[in-house]
Structure 1
Amino acid sequence: MSDPAQVAVVTGGARGIGAAIARRVVAAGGHVVLGDLAVEQGESLARELGPAACFVAADATSEADTMTLFDAASSYGAVDAVYANAGAVGVTGLLEGTAVDDARATMDRLFTSVFLAFKHGVAHMRPQGRGALVATASVASVRGGLGPHLYTAAKHAVKGLVESVAVEIAPYGLTANAVAPGATVSSLSAGLVGTGPADVERAYEQLASRSSSGVPTTSEDVAEAAYFLSRAHRVNGATVVIDGGDAVPGSAGRAYYGGVPHPAS
């Protein structure tokens, strides 16, 4: 028996992975509420997706704004999927040079946003006995050294929250899981690799050249995994790495068995 079409809330839904998730939900016959501060991009995506989607200008770190997203979703029916995707790289640099206010702002954007989406998602879905929470974590949530200090700490916190909440909500028919992307082709990564946020095609080429498989991870790859987790009723508390084997697990072992000369040889 197939699952019914979703009514989903997506934070950080205007661009990148969030937009890809929204497109995946709608393609499967669902409805989606997009929350984001990128108003122009969010409204454009909502127009693209038609009556199955609506955009709400919302700060994912604001509890009032988060509640507004769920209120908007009620026009489509009962919410049964929450994709906590809002985030940013946040503060970077040496630890001793990091300002406390910048650290707190980064934790808010990357962790508090997930906490709020999960809190209100559970409140809406627990009474109906079904529903899925999916957070966007990172390979930096399972291994250090793959991102800035506060980004890594926040993503580890997201992974921990997913595992803890999964225990609480399992008796009520709900699940909580996370996707953990590696470097992913998007406007964000285009800016990070120095090509400029509009040059996604060039970012694709650069990330492909850095990938052990020669193929970079795309937002659509991550969205497909996120959507799967929202439907996988017996998967709960998992963090699924999506990086093509580049970072977690690492690809250094190829030096021993993949035809690449061992560094010591």
Structure 2
Amino acid sequence: MTSSRVAIVTGAGRGIGAATALRLAADGAAVAVLDVDAQTAADTVERIRTAGGTACAVVADVGDPDQVKDALATVEAELGPPVILVNNAGVIRDRPMEELSLDDWNTVLDVNLRGPFLMCQAIRPHLLEQRWGRIVNFSSSSALGNRDQANYSAAKAGIDGLTRTLAIELGPYGVTVNAVAPGYVVTDMTAGTAERLGMDFTRLQQMVAAQTPVRRVGRPEDVANAVAFLVGEDAGFVSGHTLYVTGGPMR
């Protein structure tokens, strides 16, 4: 990756998004750290700059078309035309189907599926102009179905379809579109899941690790490494693929 390439990572204030932003910056990209939380976005930017990289913070709700449009304009003004997009931003509202409210459904679909669509649509003119680009969407092992996640599973299954379709549409312009599907990764989000289940977080990690072929849970850096491959030159013939980063085969 060359330093002239500008990347956007959504939900990059913490967790997997922050790890991905740091990895892409270390690989030479100028990174727009996009998040709804101004403070966490600024924190990630500071970490990148301290390590010698180039970054800017952009505050936006990816589910809002106007904010997405403004965010892309800010990125171009501060760093240049973006050609790499990592759609990581996500939320969960886990409940049994009979307890899911319409707000639970809409919130998860808006951030996890509508958001990537809007971001892809907004960056498309830059990719076509440069005749080169990389999009990595975040799917999940939950796309295969998971208890209490009807909304999240539906959104992530939608990401898989969106990814394959955009790979077909954008491929002739030198753009690859792929997805990564993390399994269990230690983040604030999974800590929240443990709390919701009334389980000790460390104990939950031990239980998950025991059921994972590589016998450990995932780290944000594991996923960031996969993203780094997909946005690099070596992955130029990989498109329309969902890469499971799960420590073993999925069902």
**Fold-level match, TM-score > 0.5?**
yes
C-alpha separation between the residues in 1 aligned to 2:203 and 2:57?
29
Q: Deviations over 1:42-69 (max 9, x none)?
A: 1111112126111111111111221222
1:149-188 matched pairs, under 5 angstroms: 149-188=150-189
Q: Deviations over 1:195-248 (max 9, x none)?
A: 99xx98787656434533222111111011011111211111000000011xx4
C-alpha separation between the residues in 2 aligned to 1:72 and 1:203?
41
Contact 2:96 2:147 in 1 (8 A): no
Of 80, 101, 104, the residue aligned with 1:102 is: 104
Contact 1:178 1:240 in 2 (8 A): yes
TM-score, with structure 1 as normaliser: 0.84
Aligned-pair CA distance for 1:89: 1.3
Find the counterpart in structure 1 of residue 139 from structure 2: 137
Query: SS at the partner of 2:134?
Result: strand
C-alpha separation between the residues in 2 aligned to 1:70 and 1:88?
22
Does 2:10 correspond to 1:11? yes
Query: SS at the partner of 2:80?
Result: coil
Q: Deviations over 1:103-129 (max 9, x none)?
A: 122110110011011111212211110
TM-score, with structure 2 as normaliser: 0.89
C-alpha separation between the residues in 1 aligned to 2:220 and 2:117?
23
Find the counterpart in structure 2 of residue 63 from structure 1: 65
1:219-258 matched pairs, under 5 angstroms: 219-231=220-232, 232-245=235-248, 248-250=249-251
Contact 1:33 1:69 in 2 (8 A): no
Find the counterpart in structure 2 of residue 254 from structure 1: none
Structure 1 pair 54–174 and aligned structure 2 pair: CA distance change class (3 A): same
Query: SS at the partner of 1:35?
Result: strand
AA of the residue aligned to 1:36: D
Higher share of residues assigned helix: 2
1:63-102 matched pairs, under 5 angstroms: 63-74=65-76, 75-90=78-93, 92-102=94-104
Query: SS at the partner of 2:137?
Result: strand
Of 116, 119, 128, the residue aligned with 1:117 is: 119
C-alpha separation between the residues in 1 aligned to 2:17 and 2:223?
9
Contact 1:190 1:202 in 2 (8 A): no
C-alpha separation between the residues in 2 aligned to 1:146 and 1:126?
40
AA of the residue aligned to 1:16: G
AA of the residue aligned to 1:234: F
Tell me which moved more, 152-161 or 62-71. Answer: 62-71
User: Structure 1 residue runs of 4+, over 6 Å off?
Assistant: 199-203
Q: Which runs of 5+ in 2 are unaligned?
A: none
The percentage of aligned residue pairs carrying the same residue is 31
Contact 1:83 1:134 in 2 (8 A): yes
Contact 1:87 1:110 in 2 (8 A): yes
C-alpha separation between the residues in 2 aligned to 1:113 and 1:126?
20
Question: For the aligned residues, what is the CA RMSD?
Answer: 2.2
Structure 1 pair 134–147 and aligned structure 2 pair: CA distance change class (3 A): farther
C-alpha separation between the residues in 1 aligned to 2:192 and 2:99?
23
Structure 1 pair 30–122 and aligned structure 2 pair: CA distance change class (3 A): same
Query: SS at the partner of 1:237?
Result: coil
Of 53, 56, 62, the residue aligned with 2:55 is: 53
Contact 1:146 1:152 in 2 (8 A): no
Aligned-pair CA distance for 1:193: 1.9
